[in-house]
């Protein structure tokens, strides 16, 4: 499938809208020749552009907010804090939030990329494996059974993590129950079924218990703000997830050619799928724990990554991580800017802007199919 640089123009436009120094960055964006049927992509340049975008997003996220800050303020707050209001705003609020967004975005990006790879479906996202419904079910069950004690952010995070991982384990188990083991079809189906069942159970609980509904409706929004302090707790899982993803990259390019071809190239399909699903589950669970469900990111980011660096998974996965973080931080910052003095939830902004952008991509040029 062919792409040209109109999507890059679009990316540029969005970027420019937010940051005055964007023009410097656009010079670095890869110049892809217009649709002559030629697709020449320099992955390194694409990744480089993504990294630059991320840096800009990081800066923006830290600098922009209720209190305008400058780079000097940031350096001051991080390196030589002295307890002033500006420093506190940065150290206690913006920096953790930015860090949170970085981790969550990267996790969602990688998880989304791997999900689309293993389901061979460009419209798949990690929610397909039951992650979000499982987490939601755990959360509302906790609210139902444990009351207020289990509605604090800390326990909620633990519940979300456990629920997410349990759901994806169930999906994997059901998916491997068929004769062929885990194939793309069985995975998708099992995921759809578990998601639906968990969703049904969630409905039953929240419709009979107002407190649970209250918990759910706010948790559902997704936000990278509140739970900033949780990163040390999920660190081991984060590391495990990243390792698993890294291990999986090698076989993904072969798997993209079809399971039989991959097997003849020496890939252990079963093991590769297991590792892949585990990576997706862990990374997505980490993201859900830190920020609640932000579904659209996992769907959109891999498409953007493919546009920048092409189909080679050795580039696609890292680029998804970088872009995921960048996109999430941008959306979050935008949410803070657009609705001052309040803020628009990052998930909503991501979907409201990302959705039409996705449609635009689908209409103007073909999205890269798998």
Q: Which chain residues interact with another protein by CB under 8 A?
A: 2, 35-37, 123, 174, 178-180, 185-186, 188-190, 192-193, 196-197, 199-200, 203-204, 206-208, 210, 213-214, 217-218, 220-221, 295-296, 299, 344-345, 347-348, 350-352, 354-359, 362-363, 367, 369
What's the CA gap between 169 and 160, in Å, rounded? 14
For residue 10, give both structure tokens: 């679009």
Residue whose CB is less far from another protein, 141 or 220: 220
Query: Residue with structure tokens 């997830």?
Result: 241
Q: Least distance to another protein from the beta carbon of 343, Å? A: 12
Supply angle C-alpha 339, 135, 148, rounded to 5. 80
- Of 51 and 213, which CB lies nearer to another protein in the complex structure? 213
Give the nearest distance from C-beta 122 to another protein in angstroms: 8
**How distant, in Å, are the alpha carbons of 107, 199, 258, 270, 345 from that of 352?**
21, 24, 35, 38, 11
C-alpha to C-alpha distance for 128 and 121, rounded to whole angstroms: 11
Cβ closest to another protein, residue 62 vs residue 129: 129
Q: How far is the CB of 51 from another protein (least distance, A)?
A: 27
Output the CA angle 346-19-96, nearest 5 degrees. 45
The torsion region of residue 263 among left (phi > 0), alpha (psi -120 to 50) and beta comes to alpha
- Backbone phi, psi, residue 293, to 5°: -80, 120
Q: Which is nearer to another protein, 105 or 347 (CB)?
A: 347
In angstroms, rounded to a whole number, what is the distance separating the alpha carbons of residues 316 and 153? 33
Shortest Å, Cβ 188 to another protein? 8
For 245, the 3-state DSSP assignment is: helix
- In angstroms, give the least distance from the CB of 111 to another protein: 17
Complex with another protein: residue 2 or 71, whichever CB lies closer: 2
Identify each DSSP E strand in 200-280 by its residue range: none
Q: Kindly state the smallest distance separating residue 97's Cβ from another protein, in Å.
A: 19
Cα 329-331-336 angle, rounded to 5 deg: 95
Closest among 62, 130, 68 to 102, alpha carbons compared:
62
Structure token digits, residue 284: 């997505």
**Minimum CB–partner distance for residue 85 and another protein (Å):** 29
| Min separation Cβ 218 and another protein, Å | 6
CB nearer another protein, residue 174 or residue 281: 174
What does the block give as tokens for 310? 């092409």
Residue with smaller CB distance to another protein, 35 or 55:
35
Q: Considering just the CA atoms, what is the radius of gyration of the chain in Å?
A: 21
Nearer to another protein, 221 or 247 (CB): 221
């Amino acid at each position: 499938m062919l792409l040209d640089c109109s999507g890059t123009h679009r990316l540029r436009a969005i970027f420019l809208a937010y940051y005055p120094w964007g023009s410097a960055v656009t010079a670095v964006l890869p110049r892809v020749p217009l649709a002559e049927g030629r697709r020449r992509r320099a992955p390194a340049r694409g990744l480089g552009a993504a990294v630059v975008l991320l840096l800009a997003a990081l800066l923006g996220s830290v600098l922009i907010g209720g209190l305008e800050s400058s780079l000097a303020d940031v350096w001051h707050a991080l390196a030589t804090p002295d307890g002033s209001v500006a420093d506190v705003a940065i150290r206690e609020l913006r920096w953790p939030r930015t860090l949170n967004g970085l981790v969550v975005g990267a996790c969602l990006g990688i998880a989304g990329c791997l999900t689309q790879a293993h389901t061979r479906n460009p419209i798949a996202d990690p929610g397909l494996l039951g992650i979000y419904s499982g987490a939601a079910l755990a959360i509302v069950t906790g609210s139902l059974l444990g009351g207020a004690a289990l509605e604090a952010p800390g326990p909620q995070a633990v519940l979300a993590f456990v629920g997410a991982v349990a759901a994806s384990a169930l999906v994997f188990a059901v998916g491997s129950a068929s004769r062929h083991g885990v194939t793309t079809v069985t995975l998708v189906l099992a995921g759809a079924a578990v998601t639906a069942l968990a969703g049904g159970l969630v409905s039953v609980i929240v419709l009979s218990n107002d407190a649970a509904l209250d918990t759910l409706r706010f948790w559902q929004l997704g936000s990278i703000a509140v739970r900033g302090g949780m990163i040390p707790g999920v660190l081991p899982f984060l590391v495990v997830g990243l390792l698993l993803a890294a291990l999986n990259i090698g076989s993904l390019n072969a798997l993209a050619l079809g399971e039989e071809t991959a097997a003849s190239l020496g890939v252990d399909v079963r093991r590769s799928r297991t590792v892949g699903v585990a990576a997706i589950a862990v990374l997505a669970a980490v993201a859900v724990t830190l920020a609640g469900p932000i579904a659209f990111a996992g769907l959109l980011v891999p498409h953007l990554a493919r546009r920048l660096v092409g189909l080679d998974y050795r580039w696609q996965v890292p680029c998804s991580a970088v872009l995921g973080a960048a996109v999430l931080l941008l959306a979050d910052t935008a949410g803070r800017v657009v609705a001052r003095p309040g803020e628009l939830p990052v998930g909503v902004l991501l979907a409201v802007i990302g959705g039409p952008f996705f449609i635009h991509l689908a209409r103007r040029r073909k999205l890269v199919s798998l």
